[in-house]
Amino acid sequence: MPTRKPRKDSNKSPAKEFEFIVLSGDETGRDRETQRRVRSVAQANYRRQHPYKRRQTTVDLDVTPLLDGTIHSSNAGPSQVLPRSMSILDASRSDPFQSFGFGDNRRAHRLWDHMYDGTCPKFNTLVQIGFVDLARETIALSQMLSASAWHLVHWLGCESDSGEDAQYSMISTQNLQQRLNSVATGASDEVVIAVLTSAAYANLIKEPGMFQVHMDGLSRILHLKGGEGSLHSPPLRLALFWIEINGRFRQDAAAQFPPPNDILSGQSKLNLALFDAAQLSSGCVIPTVERLLHHFLSLPRSSIHDEIHARQRECFRLAGILYLGSLRSKFDFEPGAGMLYGTKLQLVLGSEGMLPKWDTSNIFLIWILTVAACSPILFDDLRMQFAALLSESVRSIGYETPQDYLAAINGFIWCEAAFGLKA
């Protein structure tokens, strides 16, 4: 195989060496190295002419037309909707699978059943308050199917990952962009529902940054509508409250929107005594637990550099959130969901002058340490550290018998169903 080396030019970088390989029509007599080089050259030429198509996993959502008032009215007409047939899931409603082009797709129906049948705690609350019934007939349907696919693959681990969740998310995002580009639909309830569904998906996959982007966009949309009071549907307002509190719980951040007290007041009088084993149920989560959680997340924060009384209040705030998070875990358990608050609490308690006792506020310290030591949403190693601090504080305060300790705890707010402590 003769080799030709090009003449070197001192003003240019060294040229690439080319090699001519003399071959016959068949592969007889070729060694393996020659065959490898021939195949690699042929494959490289083919790939240059026929490159792989990259799989699109993200879609840019442009809300600028909605915000700066440049939406063109050419898209203002109502979007074309396919004729609606009656759904076997609910004879009083239209079939979302026909409306949005899914047709007889059995896989889509499988994903819908997983979310809607009431057996999955990740979706059950939104089903119970009626939000899913609102969303099923909007462009948010694709995002709900995406959430169902992600949950089956990444949370339950019962299916292999085929990228289904990303595909449905892109469909939802593209449909949302079309609505945002229209003056007639840019600030409609359907858009609010779609953005809320995307925020709920961000909570599901634990993406606080994505959640915040959707909440900021939702805030601007609601500003154009006249505020959250412009949402006249109770299920939609409850969903806004529920989804936002779930996201803020992951951030330890105050909520942007106030709770819908006019709706919640008819469901609960915030009776703290209801948190016992007999009365603890999923029906009390939104009107009671979430409402209190909204309050705790709205309280002022303190750091280890503040004066001691401010640090004590911060410890109570963190323990209160752990307490409420433990109540929520009875219906949707997530390992380590409270570690953000547990590690913050450990840091503040470790600052100067915080242990082993609080003088006139010892009962608060004992309650705080007990909540942390018993919290099911903290990992075991951190709980054990709080248990050791609790033991030290009990001795320093002077509780002589277990009955003295239990009497102090039961004199404070406690829930046996969530924490398992019985006097």
- For residues 349 and 241, membership in a common domain is answered with no
Residue 262 lies in a domain: no
As a dihedral over the C-alpha atoms of residue 382, residue 386, residue 387, residue 390, rounded to 10 degrees, the angle is 180
- For residues 124 and 163, membership in a common domain is answered with yes
* Number of domains, the chain: 3
pLDDT-above-90 percentage for the chain: 45
The answer to whether residue 354 scores a pLDDT higher than 90 is yes
- For residues 218 and 113, membership in a common domain is answered with yes
How far is C-alpha 169 from the chain's CA centre? 14
The answer to whether residue 6 scores a pLDDT higher than 60 is no
Give the pLDDT score at 157: 84
Identify the band that residue 59 occupies on the pLDDT scale cut at 50, 70 and 90.
Answer: very low
- For residues 175 and 322, membership in a common domain is answered with no
Residue 84 lies in a domain: no
Q: Can you tell me the distance from the alpha carbon of 142 to that of 136, in angstroms, rounded to the nearest whole number?
A: 9
Q: Can you tell me the distance from the alpha carbon of 239 to that of 244, in angstroms, rounded to the nearest whole number?
A: 8
What token pair was written down for 216? 């900021």
pTM for the model stands at 0.72
Residue 158 lies in a domain: yes
Closest CA to 221 of 179, 282, 253: 179
- For residues 304 and 403, membership in a common domain is answered with yes
Closest CA to 355 of 416, 396, 325, 385: 396
What are the E-state strand segments in 20-138?
A: none
Q: Can you tell me the distance from the alpha carbon of 54 to that of 97, in angstroms, rounded to the nearest whole number?
A: 28
First to last CA, the chain: 92
The answer to whether residue 272 scores a pLDDT higher than 70 is no
Note down the domain range covering 326: 272-419
Helix, strand or coil, per DSSP, at residue 32: helix
What values do phi and psi take at 286, rounded to 5? -70, -50
The answer to whether residue 90 scores a pLDDT higher than 60 is no
pLDDT-above-70 percentage for the chain: 68
Identify the band that residue 89 occupies on the pLDDT scale cut at 50, 70 and 90.
Answer: very low
- For residues 291 and 234, membership in a common domain is answered with no
Identify residue 253 by its one-letter amino acid code: A
